[in-house]
């Protein structure tokens, strides 16, 4: 018995919906299969289902055979036809973006392309600011090899028992990890995804087949994991490709139990050591004693990878994306790293050692001296409060911002939310994230920037055209207005979150007034929809980033349309100077202190002040003590920066009013 339908599940049968579909299918006695393009797989295996790569709007057939076939088909078709089935991604694993050498998101220090460094020096992506020096802790877990011995017939049953016990032990370990309250939502999602694989018949079935064929259990698991991982890698889907790593991770855990070994643990990392790894896997990351780690160096990863975000939020200096160069560090005794420039020095000589130790000490001293400014509310000479706020890109960074004394968030970059998921985040998931932010900082404002993305940063679920000049192309507000399906989901989520605190919203890359008026119309449309649906929501102030020369030149007109300006000096500098912000060869021109850029800032401030709206700044320049006095004199009343710069900025402003 069978029935066909068009899949309406949002984003198709990716991990969570596939797991739920399987759970539903397992509730029926009948054999159930899902068929796509003539290929049939068991509907009771989430791995097989995921590998079928069923996308939204594709036609599939549900086939069932057994006593409750009618009910099974009814229930499963109902699931596939429900668009909401894919939207509840609360527990969706947030996979690290793993692109080695990836360009920095600007919340991170500027990325530096890997290049030959000085003697015994390497250079990678500067992913988390600060310098560190300490003993090297190389974390390169050894490859696991099978015994390569063919089993005797009478050994097979025992080997299968041993294998099943190992799988059960791994599942139990993962369940224990999931039961820990200390696990963050992101880490919980990662562990839950691994648990799903460990429980899936595909891996265990393949492995048991190999054992029955006479292979020892370890060899069988290695082969089964490689086969399934290869299938995941071959699918044309970014999210599913990342599942290959999960399969290897689970296979590795099962093998270690079979061998009676523990994985090389990060637990024993000495205080202040520099963690060196090719990659830090999701499973390791969820259990690492981050408090003890002095610095992180990785072959993989970029400024937006999971480890980079965690390092930044914990103030751990990090250099990532070293590629194969990381192998040179395997036998290092001591390592020095500079998370501001991406430099790594192996076994530094006395002079370098002294230099780094001095910088580490000076930084610690400065940090200690600055803590008195944490609770200060700085004011300008004319008595206006200057809000010193934080630039963050994830909920993990809230704590660091609060500990620094942030007076709210001046820039919440929503790109990470989109990049860390392998499908577009749902309205519910976004609303929860923005609400959590608003609650954390209330009554201070939280300025959420709408999706600022272009063809230089891939996002699953959005097709970007190839562009000659992506920085001048289809990005930011331009892309959002062309994709109201994506944009409205974000605006609705923001309206819903506004109930929970002081949410403000700003638009990136604005270069024409119509972009503001069209957005406002969409906001009104979303508010009307929410009202009709009876969903609680509240209005928010709408502002714009001033980061294109066009926005500066139309600032007086823009100021009449919006509640605030936030000057994005990172982009404004590159566009005013026509100097790519990621191109080291034109780095000299990419200088915010160039008179051309400073007058653009002044023009913007004048227009905003004249119109009586708030003018703030959220580009990197906002945290520069040498420039802050000039910005305040121009009339800026909000400066938003990386949490690490907040106390220094408060000190600078306080010193201005004290007449120092
Ligand atoms: C800017 O351009 O100054 C800015 C803050 O935005 P981003 O760095 O994210 O482009
Ligand atoms: Mg920008």
Q: Ligand 1 pocket, 128 CB below 6 A?
A: no
Among 306, 421, 500, 537, the active-site one is: 306
In this prediction, residue 111 carries a pLDDT of: 35
The predicted model gives 360-383 an average pLDDT of 93
Residue 95 predicted with pLDDT over 70: no
Number of neighbouring beta carbons within 10 Å of residue 613: 18
Query: How much of the chain exceeds pLDDT 90, in percent?
Result: 56
In this prediction, residue 92 carries a pLDDT of: 38
136-156, pLDDT tens digit by residue? 999 888 788 887 778 999 999
Q: Identify the burial level of 148 via C-beta atoms within 10 angstroms of its C-beta, where 0-12 means exposed, 13-18 middle and 19 or more buried.
A: exposed
Mutation probe of ligand 1 site: the residue of 456, 577, 619, 623 with most atoms within 8 A of C-beta = 619
CA of 570 to the centre of ligand 1 (A): 5
Residue 596 predicted with pLDDT over 90: yes
Indicate the pLDDT class of residue 115, thresholds 50, 70 and 90.
very low
| Catalytic annotation present for 238 | no
Q: Do 400 and 311 form a contact (C-beta atoms < 8 A)? A: no
In this prediction, residue 52 carries a pLDDT of: 87
3-state helix, strand, coil in the chain (%, to 5): 50, 15, 35
Residue 93 predicted with pLDDT over 50: no
630-659, pLDDT tens digit by residue? 999 999 999 999 888 899 999 999 999 875
Q: Do 17 and 53 form a contact (C-beta atoms < 8 A)? A: no
Residue 244 predicted with pLDDT over 60: yes
Does the pTM surpass 0.75? The reply is no
Q: Ligand 1 pocket, 570 CB below 6 A?
A: yes
Residues 6+ apart with CB under 8 A from 295: 130, 132, 134, 274, 275, 316, 317, 318, 319, 335, 337, 339
Residues 6+ apart with CB under 8 A from 411: 107, 389, 391, 392, 447, 449, 506, 566, 618, 640
In this prediction, residue 84 carries a pLDDT of: 72
CA of 638 to the centre of ligand 2 (A): 17
529-579, pLDDT tens digit by residue? 999 999 999 999 999 999 999 999 999 999 999 999 999 998 999 999 999
Domains of the chain: 2-80 (3.30.1340.10), 102-141+265-357 (3.50.30.10), 153-259 (1.10.274.10), 387-658 (3.20.20.60)
4-32, pLDDT tens digit by residue? 999 988 778 876 678 778 888 988 999 99
Query: How much of the chain exceeds pLDDT 70, in percent?
Result: 87
């Amino acid at each position: 018995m069978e029935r066909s339908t068009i899949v309406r599940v949002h984003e198709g049968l990716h991990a969570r919906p596939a797991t739920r579909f399987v759970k539903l299918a397992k509730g029926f006695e009948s054999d159930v299969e899902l068929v796509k393009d003539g290929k049939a797989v068991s509907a009771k295996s989430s791995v097989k289902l995921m590998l079928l790569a069923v996308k939204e709007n594709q036609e599939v057939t549900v086939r069932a055979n057994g006593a409750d076939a009618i009910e099974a088909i009814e229930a499963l078709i109902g699931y596939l036809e429900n668009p909401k089935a894919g939207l509840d991604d609360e527990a969706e694993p947030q996979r690290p973006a793993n692109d080695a050498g990836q360009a920095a998101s600007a919340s991170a220090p500027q990325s530096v392309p890997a290049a030959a460094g000085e003697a015994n020096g390497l250079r990678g992506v500067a992913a988390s600011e600060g310098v560190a020096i300490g003993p090297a802790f190389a974390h390169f877990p050894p490859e696991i090899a099978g015994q390569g011995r063919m089993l005797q017939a009478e050994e097979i049953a025992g080997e299968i028992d041993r294998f099943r016990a190992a799988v059960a032990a791994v599942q139990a370990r993962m369940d224990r990890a999931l039961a820990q309250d200390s696990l963050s939502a992101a880490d919980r999602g990662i562990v839950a995804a691994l648990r799903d694989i460990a429980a899936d018949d595909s891996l265990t079935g393949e492995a048991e087949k190999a054992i029955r064929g006479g292979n020892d259990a370890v060899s069988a698991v290695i082969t089964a994991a490689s086969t399934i991982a290869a299938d995941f890698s071959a699918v044309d889907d970014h999210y599913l490709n990342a599942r290959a790593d999960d399969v290897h991770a689970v296979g590795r855990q099962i093998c270690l139990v079979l061998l009676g070994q523990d994985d090389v643990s990060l637990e024993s990392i000495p205080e202040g050591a520099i963690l060196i790894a090719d990659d830090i896997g999701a499973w390791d990351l969820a259990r690492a004693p981050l408090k003890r780690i002095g610095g992180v160096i990785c072959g993989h990863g970029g400024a937006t990878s999971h480890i980079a975000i965690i390092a930044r939020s914990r103030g751990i200096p990090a250099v990532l994306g070293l590629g194969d160069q990381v192998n040179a560090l395997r036998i290092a005794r001591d390592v020095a790293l500079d998370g501001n420039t991406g430099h790594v020095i192996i076994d530094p000589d006395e002079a370098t050692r002294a230099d780094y130790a001095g910088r580490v000490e000076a930084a610690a001293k400065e940090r200690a001296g600055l803590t008195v400014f944490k609770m200060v509310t700085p004011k300008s000479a004319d008595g206006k409060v200057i809000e010193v706020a934080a630039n963050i890109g994830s909920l993990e960074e809230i704590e660091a911002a609060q500990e620094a004394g942030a007076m709210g968030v001046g820039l919440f970059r929503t790109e990470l939310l989109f990049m860390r998921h392998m499908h577009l985040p749902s309205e519910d998931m976004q609303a929860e994230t923005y609400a959590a932010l608003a609650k954390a900082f209330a009554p201070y404002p939280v300025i959420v920037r709408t999706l600022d993305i272009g063809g230089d940063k891939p996002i699953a679920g959005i097709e970007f055209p190839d562009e000659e000049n992506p920085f001048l192309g289809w990005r930011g507000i331009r892309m959002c207005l062309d994709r109201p399906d994506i944009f409205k989901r974000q605006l609705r989520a923001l309206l819903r979150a506004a109930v929970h605190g002081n949410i403000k919203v700003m638009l990136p890359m604005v270069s024409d007034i119509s972009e503001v008026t069209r957005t406002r119309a969409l906001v009104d449309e979303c508010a009307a929809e929410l009202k009709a649906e009876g969903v609680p929501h509240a209005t928010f102030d709408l502002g714009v980033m001033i980061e294109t020369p066009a926005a500066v030149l139309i600032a007086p007109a823009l100021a009449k349309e919006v509640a605030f300006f936030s000057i994005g000096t990172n982009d404004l500098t590159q566009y005013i100077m026509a100097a790519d912000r990621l191109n080291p060869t034109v780095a000299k021109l990419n200088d915010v202190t160039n008179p051309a850029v400073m007058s653009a800032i002044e023009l913007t401030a004048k227009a905003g002040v004249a119109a009586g709206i708030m003018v703030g700044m959220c580009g990197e320049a906002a945290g520069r003590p040498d420039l802050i006095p000039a910005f305040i004199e121009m009339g800026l009343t909000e400066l938003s920066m990386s949490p690490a710069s907040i106390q220094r900025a408060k000190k600078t402003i306080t010193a201005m009013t004290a007449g120092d």
